[in-house]
Amino acid sequence: MPNDNPLDKVLRLKRANPQRPFDSHAGRLPPGQYLTDKFPVLHYGSVPRFDPKTWDFKIWGLVDNPIRLTWDEFLKLPTKREVVDIHCVTRWSKLDTAWEGVPWSWVMETARPKPEAHYIMAHCEFDFTADVPLDELLNDENVLLAYKYGDKPLEPDHGYPLRLLVPHLYFWKSAKWLRGIEFMEKDRPGFWEGYGYHSRGDPWTEERFS
Ligand SMILES: Nc1nc2c(c(=O)[nH]1)N[C@H]1C(S)=C(S)[C@@H](COP(=O)(O)O)O[C@H]1N2
Ligand SMILES: [Mo]
């Protein structure tokens, strides 16, 4: 009767979902955060409308190969699915969120940033911006240009059609309604960073403000 043995049950769950540790919550909540099962919506301003005829995605700045793609072209790029925890600076965290999109490695291989590029600026609809140190994007294998959440297209409130996903940093770096990436030598504050939020934003060391 293996079904009655709790250890068998744990092992079966683990086999079904190998990324999930035995104690699925242990050590996953950064200091000062609480868990939520909801998916709060947080942004400044209104939700933009998506027009696939005029939408484009650009990569520019300190790169060897600047890029401009239409939505149809973007959808043909290689994708990856990641299950990650997310942490908002307003103190909610959500575990095991599933995203799909174009991996950051595609950006690096295709745009080929110059050696002097050390920061990126994510550029979004309505001139929202977020700056991220390039090393943070290279050291997190889960970074995506994400267009699916929970195996469905992003909801408009959550960034449809495209957002940046940098799950190991506070969630404001995961800029919604993404339209481009600029590679820069020096750091420049993005939208929230201009109001005093941290230029890196590591939730584990509570880099909330600079
Ligand atoms: N374009 C844009 N992206 C944004 C923001 C914003 O104001 N504009 N807010 C950020 C903040 S502060 C957070 S916490 C997350 C929230 O994402 P969600 O609404 O999908 O939970 O989006 C981030 N991305
Ligand atoms: Mo936020």
pLDDT for the residue 25? 79
Q: Which atom of ligand 1 is nearest to the CA of 45?
A: 7
Helix (H) or strand (E) holding 34: strand 34-35
Atom 10 (ligand 1): residue with closest C-alpha? 172
The CB of 177 under 6 Å from ligand 1? The reply is yes
pLDDT digit string, tens, across residues 25-47? 779 999 999 999 999 999 999 99
Position 23 confidence tier, pLDDT thresholds 50, 70, 90: low
pLDDT for the residue 154? 98
Tell me: pLDDT of 24 over 90: no
pLDDT, mean over the chain: 92
* Model pTM score: 0.90
pLDDT digit string, tens, across residues 184-196? 999 999 999 999 9
Domains of the chain: 6-205 (3.90.420.10)
Strand bridging mode 56-61 / 178-184: parallel
